[in-house]
Structure formats: structure tokens, C-alpha cells
Structure 1
Amino acid sequence: MTAREEVLARVRRALVGVGPRADIPPAPQSAPPIAPEDLVDRFAERVADYRATVERCAATDVALRVAEAIPDGARVILPYGLGIDVAGATVDDGISPVELDSFDAVVTGARVGIAETGTIVLDHGTGQGRRAISLIPDIHVCVVRDDQIVTDVLDAMNLLDPARPLTWISGPSATSDIELDRVEGVHGPRTLHVLLVET
């Protein structure tokens, strides 16, 4: 008898006469589906739960709202193809990490927003830029169209290409030490400002 067969035989013997345990609670049921008209509200609520700023605006007001979200005098970097005019901003052309660290803010688009978790996913396509620009500056202004919002992670996964780099953002960067003291900005932007654009 091989070692594998011996281990499996022991497991089978141990399981003889073992029925379902009464102390194991039933599996949780999935959350009730979110009505399409409630997706945007749920997404905004969940994003705000993470201490991010959520602001709704019309497509015609995006450039103005982006400008208002960025502090005066801040150095701003934009990904190629964003399509939003930001005065004085630099378009990323492969800026080195050292130089990138001198930027205060980044403005990106998103690939998808997840209503149930308040998560934004970037697949770093056009208008989203490479991963470094969404992680190094201290302020991230992310533009999410309301038609990009899906119900849950499974719906998002059905839209995403697993071969692409994916960045999942659930609020500003934060971590807690052993005493549960929250520290923001350790491994990403300290401030997340989400512009939720009505389409």
C-alpha cells in the first residue's frame, strides 16, 4: 500500500458513521439581487463606507469637478487617452518611479465599479494608465460612469480579461497595526475621490 492509499484509507475509516454536525451553521445565502435602478446608489454608498469621497455629476461637468477635487498647486499626472482636460497636468509617457513620486494627484478612468462591495477595478487600458500612476500619487481622482457599475464580483469577473493587469480599489489605501490603529496612504493613495458620471 502506498503512502497516499494509506492516508486515504485512514480518512475513510475516520469518516465512517460521521453524519452532518449540528453545530455547523447553514451556508449563507447570497445577497438579494440589486434592482438596476438601485445599483448606482448602492455603489455610491459602499464607496463612501470606505472613507472615500463620492460625487455625482453630469458628463458635461466632469472637467470642472476634477479641477475642484485637486488642491491648488498640486502636480497632476494623467494617463494617455483619458479625454479630460486638466490644466497644467502631465500626461504619463513612462515617467520614472522617482519622478512619479513628485506628483501629488492622478486622474484616471475605470473599467468597472462593483455595487455590492464598493470596489473599483482598473484594467489599465486607455484612460486608466499603468498601475504605478494609480498607486504612487497621494490623491486619486477616479471617474466612473454609471453604466460601468455591475452588481457583484462575479459580474465584474465576467467583464474582465484575466490576462490583463487588474487593480482592485476599495477606498483609500489603508492598513491597521496589531492594535487596530488605522493608517492611510501606506501602500497607495491616501485620498480617493470618485466622480460618478451620469450617462
Structure 2
Amino acid sequence: MSDARTDVLARIRAALGPAPQAAVEVPRAYRAAGEHAPGSEAVLHLLEDRLVDYKAHVRRVSAAEVPDAIAQAVASLGTSAPVVAPDGLDPAWIAGLGDVVLDSRTAPRSNAELDASAAVVTAARVAIADTGTIVLDGEPDQGRRAITLVPDTHLCVVRADQVVQTVPEAVRLLAEHAARPQTWISGPSATSDIELSRVEGVHGPRSLHVLLVV
């Protein structure tokens, strides 16, 4: 049986031709940016539309309303289980919550603790309207990848100025810190692998709540 990776790399080398003395210039004729400015109403509306289509819960709030909106979203879950948050998250956002468990790279919570939590609250690095995708890159207010993959519910706070229209725009922003671990989120975790029946929460949060700060 052939090694798929080896086969793919061989095809790439064949397409590029003999090894050049200088770096190969790769054509990049794709769209580098959208027609709408980051954070514009058109971009925000498109992101909302995509997220709702993915069955995420979206709510627009002002910066001052973020703590109350988080508290309301957690209360709607109907559980007294603790909420997980990265240790770099704005303390004001979670001040109104009862039981908050902070997680950090130096003091990580176990998978069992994360699984027993009601939800996780994080910020975001960038959101892509075209695809309805939110990207986290491990900054202190976003935390480790595990805390957004194990809990059943993810509450994510996205500022309007973090929303771009296209993937290339987001990639350029992420390239500023390319070594950071990235998590790309397009709605709740879901799969239709078995008889095309959609099942949510298989390999990530079953529920995604997005607070869009405008």
C-alpha cells in the first residue's frame, strides 16, 4: 500500500519542476480581501447568518452588557456545575458567576474536571464572516485548546473589530503569531458520518454561544 503523504509530496515536487536556485513564486490569484471592511455591519450580519445556520446561539451586546449576558447564558443551562475560564480572561466578564474554575498552562485542569464543568468562557482572536468561523490562537484570554474542546458548552466573546470577511484576511492576522496553537470553530461540534444523521457534541462542544460585542 502506498504512503499517501509520500504520494502527495511527490506530485507537488513534480508540479514545481526541478529544484530552483531561488524560491518558487506560487501564484496567489485568489481573493485577498472582501468588499466589506472588518467590523462593518455587512460583515457582522453575514457572520451572524452563518453562525445561526450552524445552530450556534448569537447575541449582540455592548461591552458593558458582556458580564450580564454571560451570566444569563450560563443560567439558561440549568446546572450548578462550575464554569471554566482561562486565567487571562477579563475578570469582570465572569464576576457574576457562582463557581468559576480558572485554567492555565502552568496549572491545567484535568480532562475529568473540564468534562464535569457546565461551560467554558473565552475570548477570540478573529472571526471569518464568509465561513462563519471563529478562530482561537491560545492567547491568555483564550487559553489551552483542551478547555474549548472538552466542556459541553462554549461561550465565546467576539468583538466587532475582530470580524473580517474572508479567510485570507484572517490568515494574515494569525500569521503574526504563526507558532501559536489554533482552534477553528464553525458552530457546535457535529458529524453526519453515521447514516447522514447529524449528531452534535461528538468531538467538541455540543452548544456554542457567541456574544458579539458591538
Normalising by structure 2, report the TM-score: 0.75
Q: Which residue of 2 aligns with 1:96?
A: 110
Q: Which residue of 2 aligns with 1:58?
A: 62
Q: Which residue of 1 aligns with 2:209?
A: 193
Q: Which residue of 1 aligns with 2:4?
A: none
Verify: 1:123 aligned to 2:137, yes or no.
yes
- Cα separation, 2, equivalents of 1:137 and 1:82: 17
Q: Which residue of 2 aligns with 1:34?
A: 36
| Structure of greater Rg | 1
Q: Secondary structure at the match of 1:65?
A: helix
- Cα separation, 2, equivalents of 1:170 and 1:109: 15
Q: Which residue of 2 aligns with 1:87?
A: 98
Displacement after TM superposition at 1:137 (Å): 0.3
Displacement after TM superposition at 1:32 (Å): 6.4
- Residue identity over aligned pairs, in percent, reads 54
Q: Secondary structure at the match of 1:77?
A: strand
Normalising by structure 1, report the TM-score: 0.81
Contact map agreement 2:81 2:116 (CA 8 A) in 1 = no
- The 1:38/1:178 distance shift into structure 2, 3 A limit, reads same
Task: State the 4+ residue runs in structure 1 displaced beyond 2 angstroms.
Answer: 29-37
- Cα separation, 1, equivalents of 2:126 and 2:34: 21
Q: Which residue of 2 aligns with 1:6?
A: none
Verify: 1:43 aligned to 2:63, yes or no.
no
Amino acid at match of 2:168: L
Q: Secondary structure at the match of 2:59?
A: strand
Displacement after TM superposition at 1:34 (Å): 3.1
Displacement after TM superposition at 1:127 (Å): 0.7
Question: Could you say what the CA RMSD is over the residues aligned between the two structures, in angstroms?
Answer: 1.8
Q: Deviations over 1:43-94 (max 9, x none)?
A: 1111111000000001001000001111241320001111122332111131
Q: Secondary structure at the match of 1:82?
A: coil
Structure 1, unaligned runs of 5 or more: 1-28
Structure 2, unaligned runs of 5 or more: 1-29
Q: Which residue of 2 aligns with 1:76?
A: 83
Q: Deviations over 1:160-179 (max 9, x none)?
A: 03211000000000001242
- Cα separation, 2, equivalents of 1:81 and 1:177: 37
Verify: 1:167 aligned to 2:183, yes or no.
yes
Q: How many residues align?
A: 171
Contact map agreement 2:34 2:165 (CA 8 A) in 1 = no
- Cα separation, 2, equivalents of 1:51 and 1:68: 19
Contact map agreement 2:156 2:208 (CA 8 A) in 1 = yes
Q: Which residue of 1 aligns with 2:159?
A: 145
Displacement after TM superposition at 1:138 (Å): 0.1
Contact map agreement 2:81 2:99 (CA 8 A) in 1 = no
- The 1:32/1:129 distance shift into structure 2, 3 A limit, reads closer
